[in-house]
Amino acid sequence: MEIVFVCTGNTCRSPLAESIAKSLTDNHVFTSRGVFAMDGMPASHHTQQIIADYQLPSATMSAAFQPVDSEKDLILTMTAGHRDTIRAMYPSSNVFTLIEYVSGISRDIQDPYGGDYDIYHSTFMELKENITKLLTKIDEN
């Protein structure tokens, strides 16, 4: 299964989600994109630090969401706004917020942008919990 994680700039939440998912399984292909990303930007400092602290696979450079991404098996966004933007542009895409997909609850993943390490770590823990649920769900189907 090909899964793409999406946030705003593809420097905080989505690359962290991609790294977490890659660290937990080799059964699926994971990428990350941003709805307003500038191609080639590195992950934020705190995202890189958390990836190093937990010995996760390195984050990829930022990339903007493209039409080919809309054809992935599953598109998981960090917010309802990201989901709605993609649905408006690509109505046939299989897109949900991450929490909506795993729990059926409409809630966003907090954006740590501009925050300190503790905020990024809190986002990391929230992502790890939900990605663990995601893998359980998709591997059972």
Strand boundaries in the chain, DSSP class E: 2-7, 29-34, 74-77, 95-97
Reported as a single tens digit per residue, the pLDDT across 51-106 is 999 999 998 999 999 999 999 999 999 999 999 999 999 999 999 999 999 999 98
Domains, the chain, ranges and CATH? 2-140 (3.40.50.2300)
Listed in sequence order, the residues at least 6 apart from 60 whose beta carbon sits closer than 8 Å to its beta carbon are: 15, 18, 31, 32
Query: pLDDT value at position 140?
Result: 85
In the DSSP assignment, the letter for residue 66 is -
Q: Output the pTM of the full model.
A: 0.97
pLDDT range class, residue 28, cuts 50, 70, 90: very high
* 8 Å CB contact between 15 and 125: no
Give the rounded percent of residues in the chain with a pLDDT score beyond 70. 100
Query: pLDDT value at position 15?
Result: 98
For residue 9, the one-letter residue type is G
Catalytic residues: 7, 13, 111
Q: Please, is 125 exposed, middle or buried when counting C-beta atoms within 10 Å of its C-beta (0-12, 13-18, 19+)?
A: exposed
Q: Alpha-carbon distance 46 to 49, whole Å?
A: 5
